[in-house]
Amino acid sequence: MPTISRSIRLSKGGDGGVLLDVEQGTIFSLNTVGARIVELLQAQQATPYIVNQISREFGASEQTVSTDVTDFLRSLHERGLLEG
């Protein structure tokens, strides 16, 4: 199960959020969905649960959400923001 790196801090706002990597000194902007995914990852939720929650909360099909979550997690991993 992927988890957010311990060096990451999430700051949420009305339009999404910002990830701050305190080790790399980098900042990443997130839309509302991305911020929610990170929040669920920080709560140690598994990917299938995240897909189901995002689908329900944002009214999108699970198939679409599954593809989007997979792509988002891949992007986070490529940037060194995920462990595991």
pLDDT in tens, 19-49: 999 998 999 999 999 999 999 999 999 999 9
Q: Which residue has the tokens 């891949």?
A: 74
CA-to-CA distance for 38 and 28, rounded, in angstroms? Answer: 12
For the segment 47-65, the average pLDDT, to the nearest whole number, is 97
Vertex 53: Cα angle to 39 and 65 (nearest 5): 95
> What pLDDT score was predicted for residue 14?
85
Torsion sign (Cα): 7, 13, 18, 23: negative
**Total-model pTM:** 0.90
Task: Give percent of the chain above pLDDT 90.
Answer: 77
For the chain, domains (ranges, CATH) are 3-83 (1.10.10.1150)
Q: Report residue 17 as tokens.
A: 């959020």
For the segment 53-59, the average pLDDT, to the nearest whole number, is 97
